[in-house]
Amino acid sequence: MKIGMDPRIKKLANILVNHSLKIKKDDIIDVNCGIEAKDLALEISRLILLKGAFPRVNCGLPGFAYTYFKNATNEQLSKKPELRIYEAEKIAGTISIGTENNTKELSNIAPEKIALRRKATKPISDIVIKKDNWVICDMPTNAMAQDAEMSLEEFEDFVYSACLRDWKKEERIQTNLKKVLDKGKQVRIIGPNTDLTFSIEGRQGIKCFGKRNMPDGEVFIAPVEDTTEGYIHYDFPVCVYGKEIDNIKLEFKKGKVVKATASKNQDLLRKMIKIDPGACKLGEFGIGTNFGIKKFIKSILFDEKIGGTIHLALGMAYPEGGGQNKSALHWDMIKDLRKGGKFMIDGKVIQENGKFKIKMG
């Protein structure tokens, strides 16, 4: 039996407070979590207080999401959360800790209800993203360990190994990849059942080294909105709202998805990409660089960072790199190049069979 706080929690809290966020005296910092993250939230709060700032802890109730979506009317779902918008405008930064206790909780909730609420709450995420002072992470829980097919102790080791890294060193490793993306014009992805092209001309790559996600480890860029052509097959299932969508195949013309199929939950896939006009376009091309994460665990926060994989997100583009696509959706899907495949920029192979062909770092 463990006695006292896991020392790795203190290390993670230190990274989140002193590396991920910029916190000044008198700042109000939101700390969003579930009860499973009590120790981490308390340590984060202690460190925030030591900076002369003010932690504001919002602790969610297990089961609340199901109760809400099961019983809320469309009027309630679509109501703009004025109070939370006001709070988002006043806070200086946000630390959000995922604490899944049932990853299938929303499996039987109609996706239209969730999409309706997502549209209503989008102004909050817009404000938070614009402030550029936020980070999300996951606390190891039994539910996530079960999805990852590990014991809780094994999963804790997996999570902390992915998070407790030298993030300044990781930034240096990503620098050359960003330079290649910044100078690039045309991306081509080739693999089994995949031949996809799009332009990145004029866009800037963004290095991800623990500032917004924890764990982190990717470089991403926003495709030019109307340039995506071809088709792609995704190797891993996409997990959304407690449901898995398997064997996703997408076909693009003039930047838009024109055909979407899946072997499981195909209707959900098609509904998601019709949430709004921007949901059928690519908002992100990401390249995983965290080679400390080797196993797919059905959590996008970890899975999109796997070294040797790429991911493409339907929907919203983050504006800092020049992306213009707007949507309430931002939905990452992963292509595993370790199983055979490559991506090229302007005809030059950048990664093949999961290994970089350019100098990194």
Task: Please indicate, yes or no, whether residues 143 and 184 belong to a single structural domain of this protein.
Answer: no
Of 163, 181, 212, which closes a domain? 163
Same domain, 107 and 145: yes
The total number of residues written for the chain in this structure: 361
Task: Give the CB-side neighbour count of residue 10, counting CA atoms within 13 A.
Answer: 4
- Claim to verify: residue 127 and residue 221 sit in the same structural domain: no
Do 126 and 202 share a domain, yes or no?
A: no
Q: What is the pLDDT of residue 355?
A: 93
Task: Give yes or no: residues 212 and 155 share one domain.
Answer: no
Same domain flag for 154 and 198: no
Residues 153 and 176 occupy one common structural domain: no
Q: What is the DSSP string of 141-196?
A: -HHHHHHTTS-HHHHHHHHHHHHSS-HHHHHHHHHHHHHHHHH--EEEEEETTEEE
186 plus 114 within the same structural domain: no
Angstrom distance (rounded) from CA 313 to CA 333: 6
Which of 44-48, 233-237, 274-278 shows the highest mean pLDDT?
A: 44-48
State both tokens at 206: 């963004």
Residues 130 and 175 in one domain: no
Q: Which of 163, 187, 211 is the last residue of a domain?
A: 163
Count up the domains in the chain and report the number: 2
| Confidence at residue 2, expressed as pLDDT on a 0 to 100 scale | 52
| Angle made by CA atoms 176, 180, 181, in degrees to the nearest 5 | 115
Instruction: For residues 350 and 226, state if they share a domain.
Output: yes
Tell which residue, 69, 33, 40, has the closest CA to residue 242.
69
Report yes or no on 323 lying in a domain: yes
Q: Is residue 1 part of a domain?
A: no
Domain that holds residue 253: 167-356
Report the CATH number that the domain containing residue 15 is assigned in CATH.
3.40.1830.10
281 and 135 in a common domain: no
**Final residue in a domain of this structure, among 163, 182, 209:** 163
pLDDT in tens, 260-298: 999 999 999 999 999 899 999 999 999 999 998 989 998
* pLDDT higher than 70, residue 361: no
Q: How far apart are CA 246 and CA 234, in angstroms?
A: 8
* Residue 137, number of CB atoms within 10 A of its CB: 24
pLDDT in tens, 68-80: 999 999 999 999 9
| Residue 233 sits in the same domain as residue 154 | no
